[in-house]
Structure 1
Amino acid sequence: MKKIVGVLLACVVGITVLGGWNIDEVEAAKKNDEITIYLVRHGKTFFNTTGQVQGFADSPLTDKGISQAKKLGTGLKNIKFDLAYSSDLGRQRNTAKLILAKSGNAKTELLEHDGFKEWNYGGYEGKTNEEMWTPVFEKNGFKMDEEWSDYGKLVEKIGDEGIANSIAENDPLKAAETYDEITTRGQAAMNKVIKDAKKQKAKNVMIVSSGSMIPTLLELIAPGEYDGETIDNCSVTTLKYKAGKYSVKKIGDMQYVE
C-alpha cells in the first residue's frame, strides 16, 4: 500500500513518470520535437522584371533581388538555422546564401534538392508570360491581363493541378511537367527535410524555393490552408511541424523586406 501511495503522490507532484522522467521533462521533450520551417521565395530576378517564363530556366538576381535577400537576412538575424535548403537554380541558391550570411548563419551548410525547383515549363521557358498563360485563361473563359485580374478565378476553377496539366498539354515540346511529376518531387523534398531535421534534432529550417512551387508544397503538406495569397519575392511562409503534422502560421509575409 505504501508503494502505491508513493507512486501516486510522485505522479501528482510531477516527480516521477514512466522511464524515470518527471512531467516537466516530458513536456519539454514534446516541445523540443517541434520544427519551424521558413519557406522563402527567391529574390527578384531579371526574368521577373521582363515578364518571361522562368521555371527550370534561370536568370540572375537583380540589384533589387539582392537587396531583398539581404534585408530578409537581417530581419532573421536572431534565428539560428540548423538546416538550410534550396535547389541548384542560381536564383534560389544565391538568395539562400545571402540570407544565411546576413542572418549570422554563414556556417550553416546549404543543401540542394531538385524538389524545391520551380515548375518545369518546358518549351515555354524564357518566352513571355502571355504566350504561355493566355491559352490557359481563354480555354477557361477568362482574360489574361497585366494585373492578372482573373488569376484567382482560374485557380478556383481548375486548381494548380488543372493549370499545370494544361501547360503541359499545350507545350509544343511536350517537356513541361505534369502536376503528378511536380508533386512527386516536391513531396520527396519535404520528406527529406523532416528526416534530416529529426536526425539532427534541428529546430529551425530555411527552404528557398519559387513562386509556383511554394503553394504546391503547401497544398501537399497542409491541404486547404493556402487560399491564393500572394507569394512575392523574398516573402516568408512560416510552418510548424510536430508529431507528424504541419500547421501554417504565416503565408507570404513581407515584413522584413518592406
Structure 2
Amino acid sequence: MKRIWNVALAFVLMFTLVACNTSTKEEANKETSDEVTIYLVRHGKTWFNTTGQVQGFADSPLTEKGIEQAKQVGVGLKDITFDAAYSSSLGRQRETAQHILDGNKNDIPAIIELDGFKEWNYGGFEGRDNEAMWRPILEQYNLQWDDNWTDYPKLVELLGDEGIADAIAASDPLKAAETYEQITKRGQEAMATLVANAQKDGHNNVLVVSSGGMIPTLMTLLVPDQYNGEDIGNCSVTILTYKDGTYTLQSVGDDSYLK
C-alpha cells in the first residue's frame, strides 16, 4: 500500500510540474503575441499622383513605377512573416498590398479590406487638378500655390491636420468632403479592429497599406509626441509597435527599399 501511495504521489508531482511548465510556456507565448508590429505602407505611385489630380476616395491605377515600387518593398520585407494584411477597398492600396505579399517567402494571409484605411474623402475636388483645391485655401492665409508645394509646410504649421481637413470640407462646393472628425473616427475604428484581431488571433506582424493623407493622420492620433510631420512618400514604410495599450514609432517614411 505504501508503494502504491508513493507511486501516486510521484504521478501527482509530475503532473503538477508538467502543468506548471505548460502554463509558463502559455504565459510566455501570450506575452510574445501581446506585442504587435504594424508595417504601414503608402501605396505605390498612381496615375493621379503623376498628373497632379486630387485623389482621395477617387481611385486611379498604379503606374509601372508604382508597381515596381510595391515589388521592391515586397523584396525588402520578404523575410517578415505577416500574420494579417489590411488595405481598404481602393484598388491602388489593395494592389500594392498584393504585390508586397507576392514577394514574401512565407505563407501569406488574405487581404482584409477596412475602409477606415482609405485616403481622406475630398468630395467635389476629387479628380480635379490639385491647384483647384489648394490655391484658394493657401491664399486665405497669404500663401502661394506652386507645383513644388513650396508654401504647403507653412499651411500645415498654421492649421495642422485638423484645420486643413476642415478647410477642405468647408470649401467643397458639393459639401461631400470629410471633416477631420469623420476622418479620425474611421481611422481609429480601423486601428481598434486591427489590434482586437491581433490580440484574439495572436498576430505578431501586420501589414497595412494606406495612403499619404491617412498615414500621417494615424501617426498624429497614435504617436503625437513621436511623429514630427515627416514626409510619407509612395511605398515608404512606417513601423509601429503596439503593446499594453501603447503605440511606439519605430521608423517613419522609410524609402530605403526603393533605393
State if a TM-score over 0.5 links the two structures.
yes
Deviations 1:65-119 (A, max 9, x none): 0000001001101000000000000000000001001123563110001100000
Tell me the distance in 1 between the aligned counterparts of 2:205 and 2:225: 24
Aligned: 1:239 with 2:240? yes
Is the contact made by 2:33 and 2:199 (CA closer than 8 Å) also made in structure 1? no
Q: Distance between the aligned counterparts of 2:107 and 2:130, measured in 1?
A: 36
Aligned pair in 2 of structure 1 residues 150, 35: CA closer, same or farther (>3 Å)?
same
8 Å contact 2:83–2:108 — kept in the other structure?
A: no
1:243 deviates by 0.6
* 8 Å contact from structure 1 (residues 58, 89) kept in 2: yes
* 1:181-209 deviation per Cα after TM superposition (whole angstroms, max 9, x unaligned): 00010000000000010111000000000
- Partner residue, 1:168: 169
Alignment-derived partner of residue 4 in structure 1:
none
Q: Is the 8 A contact 2:75 2:104 kept in 1?
A: yes
Secondary structure of 1:88's aligned partner: coil
Q: Which runs of 5+ in 2 are unaligned?
A: 1-16
Specify the alignment match of 2:86 in structure 1. Answer: 85
Change (3 A) 1:143 1:85: same
CA distance in structure 1 between the aligned counterparts of 2:107 and 2:209, rounded to whole angstroms: 15
Q: Does 1:55 align with 2:56?
A: yes
* Greater helix content: 2
Question: Which residue of the partner structure matches residue 226 of structure 1?
Answer: 227
Asked if structure 2 preserves the Cα contact closer than 8 Å seen for 1:115 and 1:188, the reply is: yes
d(CA) in 1 for partners of 2:236, 2:21: 45
Q: Distance in 1 between matches of 2:26 and 2:196?
A: 24
Q: Which amino acid aligns with 1:186?
A: G
User: TM-score with structure 2 length normalisation?
Assistant: 0.88
Report SS of the residue matched to 1:71: helix
Percent of residue pairs identical? 58
1:115 maps onto 2:116 in alignment: yes
Work out the number of aligned pairs and report it: 241
Question: What SS does the aligned partner of 1:185 have?
Answer: helix
Q: Distance in 2 between matches of 1:254 and 1:174?
A: 36
CA RMSD, aligned part only?
1.9
| Amino acid aligned to 2:207 | M
Mark the CA change 1:156 to 1:224 in structure 2 (over 3 Å): closer, same or farther. farther
The runs of 4+ residues in structure 1 deviating greater than 6 Å are 19-25
CA distance in 2, matches of 1:229, 1:114: 24
Counterpart in 1 of 2:40? 39
> Which structure would you say has the larger Rg?
2
Report the Cα offset of residue 29 of structure 1.
Answer: 4.6
